[in-house]
Structure 1
């Protein structure tokens, strides 16, 4: 499983109710799952919503490894984050923060597993349309979202490649040796993407 599929999931064609549901309603489901736990910082609520979200992801009928699976680096990061909170005497916060991150991730997978990416982005562009009078540029907003989504798997893949390279050389115990190349690759990716957008006139002011 590549980095993109492991982290975000990928569209899986199907005929479930999720696939037939309008994209606007799916976004409302996403907000209904994520907003309560962000407003009410309660571990019991977070745990319950996480269980509900996992159940809803399963109803997309995507392979469970794709629907529920997590990349090892994310599991490690969540473990470190939870351990930090427990170490400083706040296990309730450890549960709440970890569950909140997982709820957002799995709720996002409901969207990504059942809706083609262009449809998701077009819906965001349409939702931003009414804000044109405030100076918003919905098309650029959609482009920014597309670039962001594309960059996440790139960074995740970079971590995996660098981790394998350092492990092969027996120097994987030093985290700086893994982080530094990833940062360099991320900066290079950002500059290349920016140059490509400018070359197409997308980084220039319309005025």
Structure 2
């Protein structure tokens, strides 16, 4: 379902004569933001590859970053440690094959610091934003009902709508169904657990 269809369906379910286009857009966008905070499925998986050609102490997280899944350097998975532990380890600018990483704000710190190879970050990322009515993304295609009811939870707060509890229940129902489906596919080795939705290459 594209953005325009989402807004039309949202207005049909809300069924209020005083809903405006601007409010419809706001509620749906708020709903998507809520979903992104809670849902973790292959739909939001991303891959970022960075070629290393000189000693590298940090890497910058992508702008759509939500949560780290794993980090590799040339097929070796790095172990995440706390910043406190990282500072204890990183008492010099030692270079070599990285073993540990720590996150601080928008940076990932590496130890030891690699001088070559490729860093591969697997992460959960935000869904591409919607602007034009013809726009869609993986979430709106696969879970349009979830998006609509996420938006309705915000609309019900705004209007003090008596259906607030119903909208919240439906949202949680759809969220649980989609999350459990994704979890089952991970356990069963389904194809969705293998291929991320988006890949980014940086040099």
Instruction: Give the TM-score, by structure 2 length.
Output: 0.28
Please identify which structure carries the higher strand content.
Answer: 2
Instruction: Give the TM-score, by structure 1 length.
Output: 0.28
Please identify which structure carries the higher helix content.
Answer: 1
Higher relative contact order (CA 8 A, sep 6+): 2
